[in-house]
Amino acid sequence: MWRTSCGDRILHRAGARFFAKALWGLLYEVQTVSLDDYSLGVPCFDNMTCGQEISVLAVVANGLRRKHVPVVPYTAVLGGAISMVFEPLPIV
């Protein structure tokens, strides 16, 4: 679960599908493109290694998609990861 200003929530149906597709696209970019060549605009995400980025994205995905996961404590890194999922990647 994810704590929001509107209470604890998880993504369902269309929101979950949209998030999964966006996350998949970001994971593909993280794994196949060297993101060290440019900044994505979220310093707390940009400063992580590829492995750290993937780990943080897994925490976000589990928190937003699984109702039996305890509420994920919000941090700047997790917030940055969520914003990276929904932000378009720069064209190289």
On whether residue 49 sits in a domain, the answer given is: yes
On the question of pLDDT at 16 being above 80, the answer is yes
pLDDT of the residue at 81 = 85
Domain range holding 68? Answer: 2-86
pLDDT of the residue at 65 = 84
Q: Which amino acid is at 91?
A: I
On whether residue 92 sits in a domain, the answer given is: no
pLDDT tens, residue by residue, 38-74: 566 778 877 888 788 889 888 888 888 888 888 888 8
On whether residue 76 sits in a domain, the answer given is: yes
On whether residue 91 sits in a domain, the answer given is: no
Number of domains in the chain: 1
On whether residue 47 sits in a domain, the answer given is: yes
Proportion of the chain above pLDDT 70, given as a percent: 84
